Structure 1
Amino acid sequence: MSVDKESNTPLIIFGYAAVGKKIYERIKKEDSHKRVFFCDNSKDKQGIHGGVMVLSLEDVVTGYNDAAFIVASLRHSKQMYQQLIDVGIPTENISLDLPDDIIGEELAREQKQRMTALDSIHVEVNINKDCNLNCTGCDHFAPIAEADTLELDIFKKDMIRLADVMAGHIHRIILLGGEPLLNKDLLEYVRIARICMPDTEVFIATNGILLGKMDEIFWSVLKENKTGLLVTKYPVKLDYDALRKKVEEKGIVWKYLGSSESGRSLWHFPLDLTGKQNAVDSFLHCANANSCHTLERGRLYTCSIAPNIKAFNRFFEKNVPLADDDGIDIYKAKSADEILKFLAKPIHFCRYCNVKKRTYDHPWRVSKKKIEEWTL
């Protein structure tokens, strides 16, 4: 965690999250007078927080390009390093080395959280499986999926049941795909979600490509039903800044999904078709576990890969099994507590995810529909 710079040179921690904050505390403890700032891609994080300045990359370029930098990320350091290089930061000013104890503490915290029943979750619902972008290695298997549009009556029934059994324990419903803007009945899903979940955030997760073609009815329904957009920014010919301005002028909330404000890179999440992985280890080390809670026709899953495996099996004529008890039946569950505890434990399907071989920050590209995109 060292960059050889003069002691009076500003130090910028790239990544305003748990790891970066721990590094900041350690540096300030060792030298309380050291000038330390953060930099983050998310506009929501930029500004002053508790007396700490969080800069944008533009701020860095104009005022701090001679600073020393520490890239503070467990999984996306490669992409973040390249961002700094792209804006002109010399390689000798950038450190990727993080203290082993801080890495260990953060990994342990993540693992503990995965095995802890959460009080409130977000629920993702695939309203269709097809997509207009088809990213290599998509963990929803969109490039090889059929449309498989979720029936409106099933969606409504599931929303009513969720609102009943999970009252007060769902803070967000996300309608996604595939690409949900391809679904001709999208606005009906929006209306149903809002009626069933009047106090819950409702968002549509989209790549944004079709947003410029949506009519006024689309925007009025979103506004009327307090439904926002979760946008993933892809390296395609699309003016995301202009789109965001248009969306916000219409009174619609626009958020970037995860760190996608910096531009989407790809990951490789290989399956183990033999099912020889240790399910507990896979669960503990999986960033999706007890995080990407997915509702699939009456069953809730702890991640997004398991309920979408049907597309992989069909396209490649494989038989990665999805057992009934890999998801919990929301109609048989007697309480929210039962559901939340289920989501916080490994499932049989975890044996088929080779989590330790996952890699991140690959250049974005369109899928060639080769099995190697989802295996080793």
Structure 2
Amino acid sequence: MKKIGVVGTENMLDLLIRALEYYESDYKIEQSVLVDGVCNDTDRMYELVMLSDMEFVVIASDKDDYFLYENLVKKAADDKKREVKIRFLHPYLKYIHHFHLFNYEKLFLDREDYANSIDYLEFHVTDNCNLNCKGCAHFSNIVSGNKNTDFLSWEKDMLRLKELVENIYTIRIMGGEPFLNLELGKFVVKTREMFPQSMIHVVSNGMLLNKVDRDVFHLIRENDVTIDISYYPEVDRDKVVEILEAERLRYRISTVSTDEFLKYMNLKGDSDIGRAYAGCGFKECHFLYEGKVSVCAFPLLVKYFNDYFHENVDAGCGIDLYSPKVKKGMLRGLLNRPVDACRYCAVDKEPIPWKGHWLNADKSDWCVEGKKKWNG
């Protein structure tokens, strides 16, 4: 058996143990050190780097702080004047539900392969929606006019993105409601062409499926794309499932409808950035929009809030993909840290009942009022 050490979080350690058992691997975890941002067990870290005949140390975290843990291992190795090889547990592993979907040979990545990838990206094919939920996180219910994404501009952005990262583990094609864009099939085909190894999903409320051209369903099916249904009270779940199964499409849908949204904006812009980021449910929802990427959709879509309410929320504008300062291997680090826009996100969120077709929007649909709290 080949001996390895593990540094990371408890969830990912358990996942790795199960994966090694499933694959009947010849790797054996000789010692592990659980870390949560800092290493409180220095002695155990020293013991790990001093192990003899160890193949490498695996960094395994369910957060995107692999480089932080890598530095902890390097410091311990330097203190003990040891040379230690470091590998990164493939982040893709935490997104899959069945080990047979994963290529075991890519279980452990070297630093370059890990740096040259990002875990998640979403983009709009339209900013418009047919449901227009109250307090929509992407502001679709206050978008005026036809705001379909221009295919050629988007394609240019994706090609630039391909220059910066070799792989994106999960890509979600969204809106708004993506089936409102009659060119959705083109976006599906091109996304799969550029990122053949990605898990690709189309995110829909399902209410337009009975009107979709079957050629679009064919392209979704042939390009190995999953449809994720956002199940809201107005959605006829049984009808949606019937259509998806009749078209032999892979899909995911909750058994319980969403009856609540969250207000998340602090219009004062005085939130503690670190705390807001740490408790944010959107911080891994990296977003591509009009030549830029951002930690989440808010910095790039808050323009609709500003226009509608004549506000001036200055949330920055994301990372310019075409900036000469942005090099290959940099996006993972740039997208996984607090940004100035976080000061407009409330540390304590407030729940609001879900309502569709909400066109009488008010700032209070998004902005916290300091009453009922929700800590995510």
Higher mean C-alpha deviation, range 312-321 or range 265-274: 265-274
The DSSP-based 3-state class of the residue aligned with 2:249 is coil
TM-score by length of 2: 0.64
In 2, Cα distance between equivalents of 1:341 and 1:187: 32
The correspondence of residues 15-30 of structure 1 with structure 2, limited to 5 A, is: none
CA separation in 2, counterparts of 1:345 and 1:330?
20
Q: Which residue of 1 aligns with 2:221?
A: 223
Q: Tell me the residue number matched to 2:350.
A: 359
**Quick one: which amino acid aligns to residue 147 of structure 2?**
D
Matching residue's letter, 1:317? H
CA distance in 2, matches of 1:265, 1:306: 26
Shift of residue 206 of structure 1? Answer: 0.3
Q: Describe the shift of the 1:202–1:369 C-alpha distance in structure 2 as closer, same or farther (beyond 3 A).
A: same
- CA distance in 2 between counterparts of 1:275 and 1:115 reads 26
Aligned residue in 2 for 1:80 = none
Alignment of 1:3-18 (within 5 A): none
Q: Which amino acid aligns with 2:163?
A: D
Aligned partners of 1:162 and 1:330 also within 8 Å: no
The verdict on how the C-alpha distance between 1:230 and 1:306 changes in structure 2, with shifts beyond 3 A counting, is same
SS of the residue corresponding to residue 255 of structure 2 reads helix
Q: Which residue of 2 aligns with 1:166?
A: 165
1:172-223 deviation line (CA, Å, top 9, x unaligned) = 2211111111112111111211221222222211000000111221221212
Question: Post-superposition shift, 1:113?
Answer: 2.2
Query: How far has the Cα of 1:278 moved from its partner?
Result: 1.3
Q: Hey, what does 2:33 align to over in structure 1? A: none
- Residue of 279, 283, 292 corresponding to 2:285: 292
Equivalenced residues, count: 263
Q: 1:355 to 1:201 in 2, by over 3 A?
A: same
Instruction: Report Cα offsets for 1:225-280 as digits up to 9, x if no partner.
Output: 222211101101x4323322331342311013xxx431012222232222111111
The correspondence of residues 181-196 of structure 1 with structure 2, limited to 5 A, is 181-196=179-194
**More strand per residue:** 2
**Stretches of 4+ moved more than 3 A in 1?**
114-120
Seen in structure 2, the aligned counterparts of structure 1 residues 138 and 292 have a Cα distance that, compared at 3 Å, is same
Seen in structure 2, the aligned counterparts of structure 1 residues 274 and 116 have a Cα distance that, compared at 3 Å, is farther
Q: Distance in 1 between matches of 2:236 and 2:272?
A: 44
- Determine if the alignment matches structure 1 residue 349 to structure 2 residue 347: no
> Who is 1:53 aligned against?
none
Equivalents in 2 of 1:114, 1:370: separation in Å? Answer: 35
Could you tell me how far 1:116 is from its partner in structure 2? 5.3
Alignment partner, residue 339 of structure 1 = 331
Q: Comparing both chains, which one has the higher relative contact order based on Cα–Cα distances under 8 Å and sequence gaps of 6 or more?
A: 1
Distance in 1 (alpha carbons) for counterparts of 2:156 and 2:192: 14
The CA RMSD measured in Å over matched residues stands at 2.7
Match of 2:25 in 1: none
Aligned equivalent of 2:122 = 124
Change (3 A) 1:116 1:309: farther
Report the equivalent of 2:270: 276
- Percentage of matched positions with identical amino acids: 26
Partner of residue 323 from structure 1, selected from 310, 316, 322: 316
The aligned residue for residue 266 of structure 1 is 260
Q: Pick from 245, 248, 252: which aligns with 1:251?
A: 248
In 2, the alpha carbon distance for the partners of 1:372 and 1:115 equals 35
TM-score, scaled to structure 1: 0.64
Distance in 2 between the 1:112 and 1:187 partners? 33
Number of the residue aligned with 1:369? 361
Residues 299 and 316 of structure 2 are in contact (CA less than 8 Å); yes or no, is this contact kept in structure 1?
no
Gap change, CA 1:314 and 1:241, over 3 Å in 2: same
Q: Give, as a single letter, the amino acid of the residue that structure 2 aligns with 1:177.
A: G
Contact kept? 1:302, 1:344, Cα under 8 Å: yes
Structure 2 unaligned blocks of 5 or more: 1-10, 15-21, 23-35, 37-60, 68-90, 92-113, 370-376
Query: 1:121 and 1:114 mapped to 2: Cα distance?
Result: 9
